[in-house]
Structure 1
């Protein structure tokens, strides 16, 4: 509960929260999914005949301190079985304090949400004075409470030497969900998802490789970035670029949008502009050729023929795309006709 409060107050941007703690209608927060199981361990005295939670009326139960995830889950399960403060004594104890109360006879039952490797869990599982409660109705709980999972603890999985537990056990588990402020930048959310996959994607006592992170069990709406990640994996930019570069490109996309909008009108103008630019290399010579042709009408001059030869040399240097080759060829033909006419006039003058 404390982490939910910190997120809500803006004291944190990211936090681990036990599934089922945050209210689904909380619009300030979003979930990135479940990261790993948080098993619930319910220990009773060794001689107890307790098999189900509905038989705990009139007992003393350590359910965790106020505001703890253990207390929220414990009270939820007890309520499902008709057990509450009106018919049971609830102690705000957790961890080693709860274990000490159970071993000293001050508590009849202890609820703990912790990893199998936690010191208190190992201590109680290895003590002959207490026993672990087997949740025979685990599937019923998971059908009624969407944020819970049913786990199987195989015989001897905690300690093969002492064969702890002595038989297969059924447990219930919440999950540790990764919660973020709803307005956290998508690039940071993507990085968190990649890190979570790297850290929590392996196998454990209760999960197989690749089982986590998962969009299941969170009990809170997933962020849009988390939904996209679970569907498609890391973003294209994050997959191939360093974080700083991917973030920079992502920001530039916003800046480029107005520029792209301007490109559309330009794309309509560019083809005619390109055609004009290519044809201008050809048609610019027609003015010169027409001028010389008109001058030859007044009589032959060697300077005009020399000028034609100079223009012909320049035209040979003109290169255009293949689609415009016929227009360049026509220009050369036009020049050739004028040059032949000038040469004919020259021969007549010499005769």
Structure 2
């Protein structure tokens, strides 16, 4: 093989690959492209019937700005902001007011509350769900004086701070004091202060005792334990309290666990502790719940609680029906997509997978229909020319108007030019394409012969030429080659007698199919 032949073969091969790629692109755009548009329309339609996208803002009821709930909520807010979600905080007096906001304000969908403080009206509420128990917050009873009361019964006749009005501390303090007979009849005075104010009044001897519900890591607890004039009560009957109230857990504050250097506390102290709970209304979007629980887990695991570390957050001490997304989170961990993708991307994909089934249902028939549609599309581009050929051929029968025949010939010449410029026919359909070109040439020769015959007839028949009989020859079917058409003769007008110089029309006619002309 010469170098020129090899280069020519390589160029033909490259042209073949380019043509194949072009055909594939055309297939995707013209046939499957329409199918994908149908699928996209189905996606858009179904999108309205699935759960809407999660909101970008959550409103959360916390507690006093100097309290632990608000401090933890600030850490939640920082975590969520990095995920593109805004956490709006609503400071309150405490757990009781948090419940009231969840019940009355539809914008508030999330809150931290103290275990055991739910109002009776929320006992069977269908609007509230538990997400997690976050951490233990023991009940601390600090008192002044040398005499050490054995338990809460020793506070009769004392001035006792029971927390701010509307707080969870007030609710649980009243419950425990009432069970121990400490009320106005016993001479006790209940003072509605808490937090820093209660610490200040206790140090200034304005009150005799104060009840707090705070985590051991709280700065207020460290201050009070370090104060030599203030003492911490030991709950010797801690197991009895936990048996009577399931939301309470008996815990032990080990000696020196608050401050090893100063040995605070100086001895083991038995305490009872409710668990702080994260609760939400049912209107909170399910996609946000794993994100919130990741924020809570990261925050409270980082606190390294000195009371039974590693036990919380969990679902162990929840008081309302557990949210299903929260159950899945604690059993299986965070959603797979949220581990590796930004929250909003993972949320969109998670919503989109619901549409997978209808998409497959639409795509399978489309893929099966694509090849037949493609074949029909390509052949229709070829066969539409035969309609023009049929019309021109039908006009040949009995046509005597030379101008009309010339116009038909011009049409055929234009068709031939358009076919020469047509470059979008796939290689697999070139047989039909070349058959079309042969048929166009065949009809073009017939029209040319008819024009010649009519021109000659006008010369010898001034009164009008005899009609052209074109019934014996017609264009072959589109699916057959002109070579397969049976050769037929063309009836020609007779040569006038007495004019030997006029040649016979039978000898000059070339009105034959392409196969006869070639022979």
2:307 to 206, 230, 234: 206
Please name the residue that 2:223 is paired with: 123
Does 2:146 match 1:50? Answer: no
2:168 to 69, 74, 81: 69
* Unpaired segments ≥5 residues, structure 1: 278-313, 315-351
1:281-314 residue CA offsets vs partner (Å, 9 max, x unmatched): xxxxxxxxxxxxxxxxxxxxxxxxxxxxxxxxx9
Q: Secondary structure at the match of 2:330?
A: helix
Which deviates further from its counterpart, 255-264 or 227-236? Answer: 255-264
| In 2: Cα distance, 1:42 partner to 1:121 partner | 10
**Shift of residue 153 of structure 1?**
1.1
Is the contact made by 1:46 and 1:128 (CA closer than 8 Å) also made in structure 2? no
* Superposition TM-score, scaled by structure 1 size: 0.70
Relative distance call for 1:48 and 1:100 in structure 2 (3 A) is: farther
| In 2: Cα distance, 1:122 partner to 1:176 partner | 20
| In 2: Cα distance, 1:261 partner to 1:223 partner | 33
**Shift of residue 240 of structure 1?**
4.3
Does 2:116 match 1:17? Answer: no
Q: Secondary structure at the match of 1:50?
A: coil
Is the contact made by 1:201 and 1:211 (CA closer than 8 Å) also made in structure 2? no
| In 2: Cα distance, 1:214 partner to 1:258 partner | 38
Relative distance call for 1:15 and 1:55 in structure 2 (3 A) is: same
Is the contact made by 2:130 and 2:280 (CA closer than 8 Å) also made in structure 1? yes
| In 1: Cα distance, 2:247 partner to 2:132 partner | 11
**Shift of residue 183 of structure 1?**
1.9
Highest Rg: 1 or 2?
A: 2
Task: Tell me the C-alpha RMSD between the 2 structures.
Answer: 2.7
**Shift of residue 17 of structure 1?**
1.4
| In 2: Cα distance, 1:24 partner to 1:246 partner | 35
Q: How many matched pairs?
A: 273
Is the contact made by 1:31 and 1:178 (CA closer than 8 Å) also made in structure 2? yes
1:156 to 256, 266, 269: 256
Give matches, 1:22-101, under 5 Å.
22=118, 23-87=122-186, 88-101=188-201
**Shift of residue 170 of structure 1?**
1.0
Which deviates further from its counterpart, 154-163 or 66-75? Answer: 154-163
| In 2: Cα distance, 1:124 partner to 1:194 partner | 33
Is the contact made by 2:165 and 2:193 (CA closer than 8 Å) also made in structure 1? no
Which deviates further from its counterpart, 179-188 or 199-208? Answer: 199-208
**Shift of residue 224 of structure 1?**
1.3
**Shift of residue 220 of structure 1?**
2.0
* Superposition TM-score, scaled by structure 2 size: 0.48
Does 2:288 match 1:188? Answer: yes
Q: Secondary structure at the match of 1:199?
A: helix
Please name the residue that 1:6 is paired with: 101
**Shift of residue 168 of structure 1?**
0.7
1:57-95 residue CA offsets vs partner (Å, 9 max, x unmatched): 322211012101111111121122232344321110112
Q: Secondary structure at the match of 1:246?
A: helix
